[in-house]
Amino acid sequence: MFVSRPSLLAGLGLLTTSTTAYFLPETLGTLVTSCTVPKNTTGDDDTPSVAATLAACNNGSNAQIVFRANETYNLLTPLSFRDLTNVEFVFNGNLSLPDNVTYVESVVGDSTIYPGHWLTFAGENTGLTLTGSQDARTGWFIGHGELWWPMVNNTSNDYRPHFFSIQGTGVRLRDLKVYNPVAWTFSLGGTDIYMTNTTLDARSSDPINAYPFNTDGIDTSASGLVVDGWVSWNGDDVLNVAPPATNVTMRNIVAYGTHGVSVSCSSGTGGDFLFENAVIYDSLLGARFKGEVGTTCNLSNVTWRNFAIFNTSYPIHFIENYYDQETGIPSDTNTSLAAYASNFTWSNIVAFTSADLQDGSCVSDPCWTYTEGESSQKSLYIMCHDAAHCTDFHFDDIVLFGANGKPGEMDCTGLEGVEGMGIPCTNGTLPTQQ
Ligand SMILES: *[C@@H]1O[C@H](CO)[C@@H](O)[C@H](O)[C@H]1NC(C)=O
Ligand SMILES: *[C@@H]1O[C@H](CO)[C@@H](O)[C@H](O)[C@H]1NC(C)=O
Ligand SMILES: *[C@@H]1O[C@H](CO)[C@@H](O)[C@H](O)[C@H]1NC(C)=O
Ligand SMILES: *[C@@H]1O[C@H](CO)[C@@H](O)[C@H](O)[C@H]1NC(C)=O
Ligand SMILES: *[C@@H]1O[C@H](CO)[C@@H](O)[C@H](O)[C@H]1NC(C)=O
Ligand SMILES: *[C@@H]1O[C@H](CO)[C@@H](O)[C@H](O)[C@H]1NC(C)=O
Ligand SMILES: *[C@@H]1O[C@H](CO)[C@@H](O)[C@H](O)[C@H]1NC(C)=O
Ligand SMILES: *[C@@H]1O[C@H](CO)[C@@H](O)[C@H](O)[C@H]1NC(C)=O
Ligand SMILES: *[C@@H]1O[C@H](CO)[C@@H](O)[C@H](O)[C@H]1NC(C)=O
Ligand SMILES: *[C@@H]1O[C@H](CO)[C@@H](O)[C@H](O)[C@H]1NC(C)=O
Ligand SMILES: *[C@@H]1O[C@H](CO)[C@@H](O)[C@H](O)[C@H]1NC(C)=O
Ligand SMILES: *[C@@H]1O[C@H](CO)[C@@H](O)[C@H](O)[C@H]1NC(C)=O
């Protein structure tokens, strides 16, 4: 159908060429010692041995800490490190969170033992590298999310664990694989962070009654972050980047079931984001921006390019009145406030809208994604507060298809009559595609 669009094919060609290696500038100096984490022989919790191994292995600097392949290390208690220098963790074995929901809830509810994530690398880490295994049979982080997902309606779910918090300067994360996280997977902060070849598998066997709620891939406010090579099945954003993040690039993405390669904001200033080379299947949202209702913030220089989005409810979605369905719009919301978005570009995107404008995360009527004017014929939503809040927008090589296979439509408000965007703000098909 889009054979006549050479730039689009070139963009997709990038994705079909097999990648031999991901570029990741190493930050590790000489690792003075390499130590293997022993399995606990007297009890079930392997967390104390990890901490003890690190302490015994040059005490948190110039060391490599190895988890043996084909073992399962049980992290019954949260694992927390800070201020590491020149340390590599090599995850050849599986690392598992406890499979006892009540127990995990009791830990998460106790702030004296739970610092906010199950695995924490906090403080001034420099030259920190987490290396997973390229062997698909081992080296997984296992969250047991499947035990939690069916309970959306029968538990307050206040005590779901967040998986990773990683921050520092010169952080390298490669080949990490996560299986069934309970919810939020990676929180990344700091500067000069590279993450390559990541796998996130949060597939539910029953996505209606056991939806993998809040299984975000990456939430970040980092500066100088490159995420290259990503495959996920999840139930929330692939990535959610928000101020004060700057200089964030994510490329070479394959995603199923997602809520978007997303930028959001509710305060602060950020920008210089590039998202490129993505194939998104069977999802709720694709290239996404959400400005929180009743707040303001500044974002500039944001680009989504070379995206192919299939069977997705809202392939390209930009709104400035987002609110959390669980909390609703607070009564004192000042709806005159909105995000300032400038120099946003959507380039070389083909989108196929799905017949269904919902997924298993819709537990309210209307669904939390409800957008005025929505339709399964629409593939592109640009809902601006007004032209002053959305400046210097650019669209090129956008090809849309509605659920019926006919040219897809746009839903637009706030930019009526604005020239120079590449397309007009219209409710209908794009002139370039008539
Ligand atoms: C082994 O696990 C138990 C809990 O099951 C824990 O109390 C103990 O500290 C662990 N021992 C080592 C050496 O990690
Ligand atoms: C190990 O490092 C910690 C934190 O950096 C420090 O408090 C402790 O004194 C060090 N221990 C030894 C034996 O060097
Ligand atoms: C892990 O198991 C695989 C498959 O059985 C085997 O090929 C590999 O050598 C094992 N690795 C180690 C370190 O035991
Ligand atoms: C490690 O986890 C993967 C994914 O859940 C699983 O297929 C594999 O059997 C596990 N390996 C061990 C040694 O438990
Ligand atoms: C699960 O954890 C709870 C709370 O720690 C404990 O009371 C219960 O016995 C555990 N269940 C199993 C099957 O171990
Ligand atoms: C990425 O990791 C997977 C295992 O999860 C491995 O099979 C593959 O070879 C890796 N790809 C690259 C380019 O490193
Ligand atoms: C919640 O409901 C699910 C699905 O009916 C059930 O499997 C689970 O055991 C329930 N959990 C609790 C804590 O009631
Ligand atoms: C939760 O309850 C709501 C309201 O009763 C219902 O519409 C929804 O389908 C339920 N969701 C799940 C996952 O059970
Ligand atoms: C952006 O981040 C990358 C990766 O950390 C870094 O190489 C580059 O220098 C940064 N660019 C700017 C302008 O800071
Ligand atoms: C815009 O963002 C891109 C991607 O992060 C960056 O390479 C470029 O330098 C930025 N441009 C300006 C003018 O800041
Ligand atoms: C706008 O964004 C584009 C694409 O990232 C960049 O090349 C350009 O320099 C930006 N312009 C300004 C004025 O920041
Ligand atoms: C498109 O429809 C929306 C609501 O569905 C409306 O607010 C907007 O003004 C319309 N835009 C144009 C350009 O007619």
Asked if residues 367 and 317 have their Cβ atoms less than 8 Å apart, the reply is no
What one-letter code names the amino acid at 92? N
What are phi and psi for residue 246, nearest 5 degrees? Answer: -140, 155
Cα–Cα distance for residue pair 433/155, rounded to 1 Å: 48
Q: How many residues does the chain have?
A: 434
Position 63, amino acid:
A
pLDDT > 90 in the chain, percent: 89
Alpha carbons within 13 A on the beta-carbon side of 45: 8
- For the chain, what is the total number of helices (H) and then of strands (E)? 3, 26
In a domain, 299, yes or no: yes
User: Using an 8 Å Cβ cutoff, are 215 and 258 in contact?
Assistant: no
Residue 151 CA to ligand 3 centre (angstroms): 36
CA of residue 276 to ligand 10 center, whole Å: 13
Output the CA 138–ligand 3 centroid distance in Å: 9
Strand partners, 378: 409
DSSP labels, 202-243:
---S-TTTS--TT--SEEE--EEEEEEEEEEE-SS-SEEE-T
Q: From the CA of 364, how far away is ligand 8's center (Å)?
A: 8
* Conformation bin of residue 269: beta by default, left when phi > 0, alpha when psi is -120 to 50: beta
Concatenating the DSSP letter of every residue in 127-180 gives: EEEEE--S-TTS-EEE--GGGTGGGTTTS--TTPPP-EEEEEEEEEEES-EEES
C-alpha–C-alpha distance, residues 209 and 192, integer Å: 40
Distance 301 CA to ligand 11 centre (A): 5
pTM of the complete model: 0.94
Atom of ligand 10 nearest to the CA of 302: 2
How far apart (Å, rounded) are the C-alpha atoms in residues 39 and 211?
34
| Atom 12 of ligand 8, nearest CA residue | 209
219 in a structural domain: no
**Tokens standing for 120?**
């924490």
What's the rounded Cα separation, in Å, for the pair 198 and 139?
A: 12
Ligand 4 atom nearest the C-alpha of 94 is 1
Residue found by looking up tokens 């539910």 in the block: 204
> Which residue has the least CA distance to atom 10 on ligand 2?
59
Q: Which residues, listed in sequence order, are joined to residue 304 by a DSSP beta bridge?
A: 275, 346
Sign of CA dihedral 313, 317, 319, 325: positive
Q: What angle do CA 43, 47, 53 make, to 5 degrees?
A: 105
For residue 344, being part of any structural domain is answered with yes
Mutate to test the pocket of ligand 10, among 220, 223, 251, 274 (most ligand atoms within 8 A of CB): 274
Give per-residue pLDDT as tens, 249-262.
Answer: 999 999 999 999 99
Q: Which candidate, 132, 131, 125, places its Cα nearest to that of 61? A: 125
Q: What's residue 224's pLDDT?
A: 98
Ligand 1 close to Cβ of residue 49 (< 6 A): yes
Residue 230 lies in a domain: no
Is residue 318 in a domain? yes
Take residue 140 and report the two structure tokens written for it.
């997984």
Does residue 201 form part of some domain?
A: no
CA 217/CA 200 separation, integer angstroms: 7
Reduced to 3 states (helix: H, G, I; strand: E, B; else coil), residue 118 is coil
Please write the tens of the pLDDT for every residue from 337-379.
Answer: 999 999 999 999 999 999 999 999 998 888 999 999 999 999 9
* CA–CA distance, 326 with 368 (Å, rounded to integer): 9
408 within domain boundaries:
yes
Distance CA 80, CA 366 (A): 41
Q: How many domains does the chain have?
A: 1
What the block records as the tokens of 124 is 């001034």
Q: Is the CB of 42 under 6 A from ligand 1?
A: yes
Report the nearest-CA residue for atom 13 of ligand 11.
Answer: 343
CA dihedral 192, 195, 196, 198 (to 10 degrees): -170
CATH for 10:
2.160.20.10
Kindly state whether residue 141 falls inside one of the protein's structural domains: no
- Host domain of residue 335: 1-30+237-434
Residue 157 has what pLDDT? 78
Within 10 angstroms of residue 417's Cβ, the number of other Cβ atoms is: 7
Is 373 touching ligand 12 by the criterion CB < 6 Å? yes
Cis peptide before 431 (omega within 30 of 0): no
What phi and psi, each to the nearest 5 degrees, are found at residue 98?
-60, 150
Give distance in angstroms: CA of 210 to centre of ligand 7: 10
Q: How far apart are the first and last CA of the chain?
A: 14
Task: Report yes or no: 319 and 291 within 8 Å, Cβ to Cβ.
Answer: yes
Name the average pLDDT for the chain.
94
- Positions of the chain with pLDDT under 70: 1-19, 154-155, 434
pLDDT at 311: 98
